[in-house]
Chains A and B, each alone.
Chain A
Amino acid sequence: MRHSLFSLFGWCALTVLGFAQAPPPGATVNSGGTAGDYKSSSAEGGADRVFNVNSDSVDMENGTMQWKGTTMNLGNSRAVRARFERYLAAPTDNGDMKRYVALLDQIQFLLSAQSINQDNYYRNQQEAFNLLFKAAEYDIDANNSLTIASQVQKIWVMKQEFRQIEITKNQMETLRKVQEGIIINRADNIEAANDARSEGGSKSKPLGKSSSGTTELGFKVKDEARTQAQILAKDAELLALGLKAKIEFQSQMVSFLMARRYRHSLITSSFYRVLFKGGSQNIVVGAKEVKEFFPISDFVPTLESFDMLSREAIKDTSKGMQTVDDLVKQGELYGAFERLQETFFLGEFEPVVMSYPQEKKREMLALWKDLRELQRLGDERDLGSVEGYVNKVRGRARDFPGAPILSKVTNAMNASNMSLLSAKGAALAGDNAKAEAALERAAKIWPQNPGVKDFATQVVSRQDTLAQKIPEFDRLMTESKWRDIYNKKLEYALALAQDKERSEKLRKVVNRVGELDANIQKASVLATQNNPYLAWDVIVEVYKTESDDIVLAKTRSDIAPLVANYAQLIGHAEKLEKDGAEAAALTAWLSAQDLNPASPACGAAVKRLAKSVAESAVIRSAGSVPAPPPAPAADDEVPVPAKK
Chain B
Amino acid sequence: MSKINPLFFALGIPVVVIVILVAIVAPRMGGGGKFAELTPFSVDAYRKDWATLQGNSYRLDCQVEQQLAFVEGRGRVLAVKPIEKDPTRPSGRIPIFVPAGSADSFEVGQRFKCKLRVTRDLLVVEALERF
Contacts and interface: CB of A to CB of B under 8 A. Distances in A.
A632 B24 CA distance: 17
A105 B111 CA distance: 138
Q: How large is the interface on B (under 10, 10 to 19, 20 to 34, 35 or more residues)?
A: 35 or more
Instruction: Give the 5 A-B residue pairs with the shortest CB-CB distance, closest first.
Output: A628-B101, A610-B68, A610-B69, A629-B127, A621-B119
Contact of A620 (B68, B70, B94, B119): B119
30 contacts: A583-B121, A584-B50, A587-B47, A590-B79, A590-B95, A594-B93, A607-B69, A610-B68, A610-B77, A611-B77, A613-B69, A613-B77, A614-B69, A614-B71, A614-B97, A617-B77, A621-B119, A621-B120, A626-B119, A626-B124, A626-B125, A627-B99, A628-B102, A628-B103, A629-B128, A637-B24, A638-B33, A639-B130, A642-B105, A644-B105
A462 B92 CA distance: 64
A622 to B, nearest CB: 7
Given A614-B74, A614-B75, A625-B101, 19 more contacts: A582-B121, A583-B50, A584-B50, A587-B47, A587-B94, A591-B93, A594-B92, A611-B71, A611-B77, A613-B95, A613-B97, A621-B119, A621-B122, A627-B126, A628-B103, A629-B125, A638-B130, A641-B105, A641-B130
B81 to A, nearest CB: 10
Contacts of A625: 99, 101
A445 to B, nearest CB: 74
B55 to A, nearest CB: 10
Contacts of A590: 79, 92-95
Given A584-B121, A590-B95, A614 B101 contact: no
A598 interface: no
Contacts of B120: 581, 583, 620-621
B68 A583 contact: no
A152 interface: no
Contacts of A82: none
A601 B128 CA distance: 32
Interface string A384-423: 0000000000000000000000000000000000000000
B106 A641 contact: yes
Contact of A614 (B70, B94, B107): B70
Contact of B107 (A620, A639, A641): A641
Contacts of A617: 74-75, 77, 97, 99, 122, 124
Contacts of A618: 74-75, 99
Interface of B: 24, 33-34, 46-47, 50, 68-71, 74-77, 79, 92-95, 97, 99, 101-107, 110, 113, 115, 117, 119-131
B77 to A, nearest CB: 5
A33 interface: no
Q: How large is the interface on A (under 10, 10 to 19, 20 to 34, 35 or more residues)?
A: 35 or more
Contacts of A581: 50, 120-121
A49 interface: no
Nearest to A642: B105
A588 B130 contact: no
Contacts of A594: 92-93
A643 interface: yes
A333 B125 CA distance: 109
Given A611-B69, A614-B76, A626-B126, A587 B46 contact: yes
Contacts of B75: 614, 617-618
A591 B105 contact: no
A200 interface: no
A586 interface: yes
Contact of A586 (B95, B102, B125): B95
Nearest to B123: A583
B113 to A, nearest CB: 8
Interface in A571-618: 576, 581-584, 586-588, 590-591, 593-594, 606-607, 610-611, 613-615, 617-618
A583 B107 contact: no
A640 interface: yes
Contacts of B24: 637
B95 A610 contact: yes
Contacts of B47: 584, 587-588, 591
Contacts of A208: none
Contacts of A621: 119-120, 122, 124
A36 interface: no
Contacts of B33: 638
B51 to A, nearest CB: 8
A625 B97 CA distance: 12
A630 interface: yes
Nearest to A613: B77
B52 to A, nearest CB: 12
A2 to B, nearest CB: 91
A638 B131 contact: yes
B120 to A, nearest CB: 5
Contact of B130 (A583, A620, A640): A640
A628 B124 CA distance: 11
Contacts of B115: 629
A544 to B, nearest CB: 24
A588 B117 CA distance: 19
Nearest to A611: B69
A625 B102 CA distance: 12
Contacts of B106: 641
